[in-house]
Every structure is written in structure tokens, then in C-alpha cells.
Amino acid sequence: MGKHVISAVQAQPDMKLAGAVESADHPAIGRDAGEFHGLKPAGVLIGRYPETGESDGVVIDFSLPGGPEAAASWAQTNRWNFISGTTALSGSDQEAIRKAAGHVAVLTSSNFSLGIQLLLMFAFQAAKILPEEFDVTVIESHHKAKRDRPSGTAKSILQAVALNSPSARWTDVAALRAGNIIGEHELRLVSDYETISVSHHALTRDVFARGAVKCARWIHGRPCGLYEMKDMIER
């Protein structure tokens, strides 16, 4: 995701990339963050957080379990707002994010696609309207290197249904891993008489980076607290 976030930031005339962080053994360490990814030079070397004392900004985190803990802690210490799209968070990740939200504005999302946000809204409203005879199934597909299963987005869809559903509603989730599938999610609402199906297919990872950068713009200057992407949409 680093390449896509850097590209999205470079496309904004009023934003600049202040830092790019990777794991210590990553081959990109010490390289220009733009050039390494085949983009225009960013003037930032991969492997460091911005020096303390630089102007306030926003940390955008797409990492693996353990990464959000370090990123959120740095954001809290340096008073930068914090955005994370990392899923399968560890307990220490969740605690670090919770603590950071007491000092800076924090926005987390399992998926920064606007289309997925609309699907979540549909799931919430459909669960409210449809009787419990409608079973709920979420089918998600991703590339074979994705570690968590089911995806964070699939869990979010089921959570949206659960928030507005009778406890007796039957739910299930199926997770598929193959090839280089970026992300596909389908919500099926099935009764004995009809089926309602809504799906979303990510065509490029740029959709997640663009959404995250949009959230970074929105959260800048917000008071401390924990936000969701729907807060940006609804306001």
C-alpha cells in the first residue's frame, strides 16, 4: 500500500510526504520513497519517522499486526493525528490506538473505499427492514498472501447487520484466497422466497489510498477522539 499512498499524496498540491516507514529489514530502507516505487522523487528516505518539531500532520498506517502500536504511539507523542487501515489488530495495537485517541484525532477503518461504506450503510438498513427469515451471508475474496481470514471488511459488514438485527438471524461468512485478487465482497440476504445480493469489487489498491488521503484531509485539525469513516461521510 505504500506506493499507492505516496502516489495519492503526491497528487495533492497542498500536501507533502513527510516520512515513510518500513520494517528494519525491508530492501527499500534508505531509498527515496518515491523513486523506489517508480514515482517522482519524494525527497524522503524510507525508514524513518519525521523529526520531532516538524509541522503537525497525519500518520497513515497500512501495516501488519504490531505496526499500528508503534505508529500510534509516535503519533500520540508528536501530536500528529492518526489513520489506520490495518486489520487483524493485536491487543497491544488496539490499546495503543485507544490511548492515542485520548490525545489526538484517530480514524480507523477496515476499508477506505467509498463503495464499501455505501455497502455497510445498505447492510445496516437492510437488517432493520428485513424480517429474521432472511439469512445473511458474506462472501469475500482476496489475494493468497492476505493473512487474516475473514477480512476486516467482511467482519465490518456482519457487524453492521448485527447492530440492526434480531439476535435470531442466521449469519455466515466465506473467505476465499487466490491469485492477486485485490478485494471482493458480496452480501447476500436470502429467504425461502427471494435473494438480495449486493457486491463490491476493488479494481485497484489506489481506491484505498485515495480514501485514506481523503480521511487525512478531513481529520486534520479535528479534536482528539476516535472516529470512523462514516463520521466523515455524514458530516
Query: How many secondary structure helices (H) and strands (E) does the chain include?
Result: 8, 8
Task: Examine the residue annotation and report whether 142 is marked as an active-site residue of this protein.
Answer: yes
- Measured CA angle at 11 (ends 10, 14), to 5 deg: 80
Task: Examine the residue annotation and report whether 40 is marked as an active-site residue of this protein.
Answer: no
Residue with grid cell 442466521, as numbered in its chain: 170
Cα(157)–Cα(119) distance, integer angstroms: 8
Cβ-contact 36, 9 below 8 angstroms: no
Catalytic member of 146, 214, 220, 230:
146
Burial (Cβ within 10 Å: 0-12, 13-18, ≥19) of residue 25: exposed
Q: CA of 54: how far to CAs of 7, 18, 80, 97, 221, in Å? A: 22, 9, 10, 22, 16
Residue with grid cell 459488514, as numbered in its chain: 157
The gap between the terminal CA atoms of the chain, to the nearest Å, is 27
Residues catalogued as catalytic:
142, 146
